[in-house]
Amino acid sequence: MDFLERPLKLPLSNRTVPVKYALVHTGYWILITGFFLYEKRYLIYKASLSYFAVCVVMRVALLIGIAYLNLHYFLPRYLLKRRYGRYFALVMLSILSYLLAQSLFDYYLYGYVIGPMRNSDLWESLSYNFFSTLWYLGLMVALKLSIDWYEQQRILQKIRVEKLQAEVDFLRSQVNPHFLFNSLNNLYALTLRKSDQAPDVVLKLSEMMEYMLYDSDDVRVPLDKEIRYLQNYIELEKIRCGDHAEIAFDVSGPLNGQEIAPLLLLPLVENAFKHGVGKQSKTAWLRGKMELDHAAVTLTVENNKPALPPSNGKGGIGLVNLRQRLELLYPGRHTLDTEDRPGYYKVTLNITLAGAEEKRQTENADNHEPL
């Protein structure tokens, strides 16, 4: 467990909070104490060091008391349960209690200890303490709400990532039943004919299963393995389609250690076969093109399809899930565009790969390092 996430038991309470919570609050009160030390430093000369210390300690201790009474008792028990009247009444009561104690002390300190060096005005002291208390109490509530909001966002992000990982695990564990069934049927037919293609089909299926069961378990995989997986998938679909379809898939550009999230490109190709090639009663065609450079990958897939009216352009559930994965994995670093016309469909995905350019620059620097 991360050190900042470790639970820390609060004094005089059975509650526990993360270490980072305690550090943030400790830092806040150190700043408040520092402010009072600076503001009240004149008391060292006009009264004494002991009065200066008592004034600062008393003020900070009282503020801490009403702040955490509000945060850990009034806020969850009344405000969050929409019992607003009782909440504000208790907050005002706690502030008035603070005002009474602090203002009486100030009245004594400035009226009798410092004496003629400063006039003592009880109403002025009450006004100052009231508004300063509201200010510090408001800051403390704002701090808590900010921390709570941050934690909620962090939890939501964690849930999104876990959901994404579950989807990836599902994709990895689920070989498309129709694809696997058709591939095995094709393999059976090839073995009956004693075709030379049978061993190649077995090899491609074996490579695909190995990639899905083992390699794709990582957060990132080498791009060349993802491309090889796509090529095997397309080659097996070619065998299934036979002369029924014209299928081409070209890759251009350097492969030099780029990495990508696993099983991210397959839905585009799978979608083209499922809704395009697989739906055509006459000659079908599919053209795929992948362009690579050191920092990005662009995949374009075009196919013909039955001449139906164009959809809303968002695609099926496979493309919807793909968009969600891209938003989580490559936020601000991808584009996914579709073109849907009667009889024609095109999708283009561009991803800026994380760290690819930096990795290339580092390798280049190492290669040119002087001896």
82 versus 317: which is more confidently predicted? Answer: 82
| Residue range 174-367, CATH number | 3.30.565.10
Closest CA to 273 of 297, 243, 245: 245
pLDDT band at 302 (very low <50, low <70, confident <90, very high): very high
DSSP, residue by residue, 290-303: EEE-SSEEEEEEEE
Quick check: 271 and 318 in contact, CB under 8 A?
yes
> Helices in 40-83 by DSSP H: which ranges?
43-46, 49-69
Summary mean pLDDT of the chain: 76
* Cβ neighbours for 345, distance < 8 A, ≥ 6 positions apart: 272, 275, 276, 302, 303, 304, 305, 338, 339
Chain centroid, CA 233 distance in Å? 32
Whole-number pLDDT of residue 115:
60
Over its C-alpha atoms, the chain yields an Rg (Å, rounded) of: 34
Residue 298 has pLDDT above 90, yes or no: yes
C-alpha to C-alpha distance for 288 and 348, rounded to whole angstroms = 10
Where is average pLDDT lowest: 46-50, 57-61, 238-242?
A: 46-50
Is the pTM here over 0.75, yes or no?
no
Whole-number pLDDT of residue 77:
81
Residue-wise pLDDT for 101-114, tens only, equals 777 777 676 666 66
Residue 162 has pLDDT above 70, yes or no: yes
Quick check: 337 and 295 in contact, CB under 8 A?
no
205 versus 318: which is more confidently predicted? Answer: 205
Residue-wise pLDDT for 116-130, tens only, equals 544 555 566 667 667
C-alpha to C-alpha distance for 43 and 58, rounded to whole angstroms = 14
Quick check: 319 and 243 in contact, CB under 8 A?
no
DSSP SS3 for 335: strand
Residue-wise pLDDT for 1-37, tens only, equals 566 667 777 665 666 767 777 787 788 778 878 877 7
Amino acid at 226: E
Residue 249 has pLDDT above 90, yes or no: yes
Q: Are strands 296-304 and 284-292 parallel, antiparallel or unpaired?
A: antiparallel
* Ranges for all domains in the chain classified under CATH 3.30.565.10: 174-367
Whole-number pLDDT of residue 296:
92
pLDDT band at 334 (very low <50, low <70, confident <90, very high): very high
C-alpha to C-alpha distance for 18 and 9, rounded to whole angstroms = 9
The helix (run of H) or strand (run of E) holding residue 250 is strand 245-252
Residue 247: count of CB within 10 angstroms of its CB: 19
Residue 317 has pLDDT above 80, yes or no: no
Whole-number pLDDT of residue 333:
92
